[in-house]
């Protein structure tokens, strides 16, 4: 597990012995056998439990692996702004050359992505558009529903993209154990 020693972190075993010497400014937990790390806080990649770099520290951001996939940020270029890709454990973009302006990890088989229009929608595990990009922002699907921002208000859609709870909340969170926190008229409660 990660262990901070001074300003740097490494990884220790259950006996408290360093298996990976402290050299990282960012050192996350191992998820699916890989840990997200950064030496400078600006370039991210993944190591295995032996400390070997499996995915180079070439990305501007990354999420922990989930279902064998991470969302990794590409550096901006003169012709494009920030972009993200969906990588497998071998550092391959699972959607070929396709990039997105922004993206979220997969949840319940769908991932929220930002299209070139600036609007958000959802893709499936093949990269196909599952729900058109027409929202100002989206949260992950949990318990079959996703919070979506539309016209300054938050509502919830189902996996078919149908609005099941009309946008009326000032803020909202994902569902957990059958309830979601929402803000309405300056007060917070649960639905």
Residue 77 three-state SS: coil
Quick one: pLDDT at residue 47? 97
Q: Kindly state the DSSP code that residue 25 receives in the 8-state scheme.
A: S
Spatial distance between the Cα atoms of 137 and 17, rounded to a whole number of angstroms: 44
Quick one: pLDDT at residue 27? 97
Q: Are 176 and 182 in contact (CB under 8 A)?
A: no
Residue 164 predicted with pLDDT over 80: yes
Spatial distance between the Cα atoms of 6 and 135, rounded to a whole number of angstroms: 44
What is the rounded average pLDDT of the residues 8-13? 96
Alpha carbon distances (Å) from 125 to 67, 109, 140, 142, 146: 10, 6, 14, 16, 17
Residue 88 predicted with pLDDT over 80: yes
Query: Across the chain, what does the average pLDDT equal?
Result: 95
Which one is predicted more confidently, 75 or 188? 188
Model confidence at 138, in pLDDT bands (50, 70, 90)?
A: very high
Neighbours of 190 (CB within 10 A): 10
Return phi, psi of residue 67, to 5°.
55, 35
């Amino acid at each position: 597990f990660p262990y901070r020693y001074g300003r740097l972190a490494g990884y220790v075993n259950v006996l408290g012995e360093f298996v990976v010497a402290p050299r990282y400014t960012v050192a996350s937990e191992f998820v699916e056998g890989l840990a997200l790390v950064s030496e400078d806080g600006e370039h991210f990649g993944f190591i295995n439990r032996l400390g070997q770099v499996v995915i180079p520290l070439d990305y501007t951001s990354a999420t922990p692996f989930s279902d064998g996939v991470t969302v990794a940020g590409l550096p901006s270029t003169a012709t494009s702004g920030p972009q993200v890709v969906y990588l497998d454990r071998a550092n391959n973009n699972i959607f070929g050359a396709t990039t997105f302006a922004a993206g979220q990890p997969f949840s319940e088989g769908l991932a929220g992505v930002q299209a070139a229009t600036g609007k958000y929608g959802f893709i499936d595990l093949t990269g196909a558009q599952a729900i058109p990009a027409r929202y100002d922002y989206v949260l992950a699907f949990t318990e079959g529903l996703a919070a979506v921002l539309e016209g300054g208000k938050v509502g919830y859609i189902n996996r078919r993209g149908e609005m099941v709870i009309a946008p009326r909340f000032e803020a909202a969170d994902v569902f957990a154990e059958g309830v979601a926190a929402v803000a309405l008229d300056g007060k917070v409660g649960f639905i």
